[in-house]
Structure 1
């Protein structure tokens, strides 16, 4: 069963309308079987539960066995993530990388050999919020574990275009992380709009990218940091355009998620990984 709505609908109103339709069908037919996997989950913020293999480049970065940040598989031995994930967690021996949609029952685990944080990372302004992890052992690519495409430095990311953010972050501000991977559809927002006085008032710098919904309701949240923002091109190839970086609370109107703009770091990634 599928429900189609315009992209201007927010999560709660969509849920309410779907529940109304289902109640009407139940009243008319007297019986309605529902698959538990289609339940209306609202995790990330305004998101739904991902299926195995949907986002095979997504990884969980775990500190002492507990999910801390997301990351993105870009080769058999390199993970791209956010620098702020390591502000007070720099010991490689305490980090584990897990693969698959569940943090409780992962498909694979790897240790971390090296953490490379951008030399010009500035926590106070969130500039250059990007880092690389080198795995202690290469992963073998499968249908459920493989890389995302990296964009060229010149790749166009038009405002208004659709993107998807994924992660195990909380479903509300100051909430708890979840064990099953979540996904949310958002729209790219221009830096000019994002820098408006009613939004981030000039805090969005050239190496950043905004994505969300103007009315709010779909966003990354705590625990999604370092995870991917991706877009699909006309060839049905998925490209990494952003890394979850920062934002004001989660899912608020005019306060979209702010991402590290991956195209701006094309050369830095290539120099450090030789990909």
Structure 2
């Protein structure tokens, strides 16, 4: 099991990063056992972390539900991505590092389309999902990695569809963002969070 030293990290919560509404130390971080941190290798790009102390949800700090492994988010599903990343390719986070004021609305792009020669030419494999627009212009960007791609169901319950993983620069035509597909890793997440849960 690949572990990262949790003493090197903290988790921030809220709508402003500096200062955050809440901050927590990290008890443990578990990276997927099959993840290999090689350049351009994005397979198994997922980790879970356990906070050192509990967090209470408020009007400014919300939770999002994990989908079941069998849950399907079809092509053209509208999703929303937020983050503190750059607003343009090679750009920087703008002080005071606010998240994108309006969540970016993206559409899920089918794997067959995303794997076409003019898009990613077969690079989209199990555990990945594309979202964005083939015409470009709207996308996650540098600094958004690890951020949530979410969508509400008909009852208004929000689900985590994906995690910002990789792409070819930002918002280029035929180069939509690629996200870690949460449903693919749902059982893995369950196995790791169950291991770290208190016995009571």
Q: Counterparts of 1:148 and 1:198 in 2: how far apart (Å)?
A: 34
Q: Counterparts of 1:253 and 1:113 in 2: how far apart (Å)?
A: 41
1:170 matched to 2:86? The reply is yes
Is 1:177–1:222's contact at 8 Å kept on the other side of the alignment?
A: no
Give runs of aligned pairs for residues 117-266 of structure 1, distance below 5 A.
117-124=31-38, 125-178=41-94, 179-182=97-100, 183-266=103-186
Q: Counterparts of 2:37 and 2:132 in 1: how far apart (Å)?
A: 22
How much has 1:127 moved relative to structure 2?
Answer: 0.6
Is 2:15–2:60's contact at 8 Å kept on the other side of the alignment?
A: no
SS in 2 for 1:115: strand
How much has 1:123 moved relative to structure 2?
Answer: 3.5
The Cα offsets for residues 28-58 of structure 1, whole Å up to 9 and x where unpaired, read as: xxxxxxxxxxxxxxxxxxxxxxxxxxxxxxx
Give runs of aligned pairs for residues 35-184 of structure 1, distance below 5 A.
90-124=4-38, 125-178=41-94, 179-182=97-100, 183-184=103-104
Is 1:97–1:109's contact at 8 Å kept on the other side of the alignment?
A: yes
How much has 1:201 moved relative to structure 2?
Answer: 0.5
Q: Counterparts of 1:123 and 1:214 in 2: how far apart (Å)?
A: 28
Q: Counterparts of 1:200 and 1:122 in 2: how far apart (Å)?
A: 20
How much has 1:173 moved relative to structure 2?
Answer: 1.4
Cα RMSD between the aligned structures?
1.6
Q: Counterparts of 2:56 and 2:152 in 1: how far apart (Å)?
A: 24
How much has 1:143 moved relative to structure 2?
Answer: 2.2
Is 2:5–2:28's contact at 8 Å kept on the other side of the alignment?
A: no
Q: Counterparts of 2:90 and 2:73 in 1: how far apart (Å)?
A: 31
Q: Counterparts of 2:51 and 2:45 in 1: how far apart (Å)?
A: 20
How much has 1:161 moved relative to structure 2?
Answer: 1.4
Moved more, 200-209 or 144-153: 144-153
How much has 1:146 moved relative to structure 2?
Answer: 3.0
How much has 1:122 moved relative to structure 2?
Answer: 3.1
* TM-score of the pair, normalised by structure 1: 0.66
Q: Which runs of 5+ in 1 are unaligned?
A: 1-82
Is 2:136–2:173's contact at 8 Å kept on the other side of the alignment?
A: yes
Runs of 4+ with deviation above 3 angstroms? none
How much has 1:120 moved relative to structure 2?
Answer: 0.7
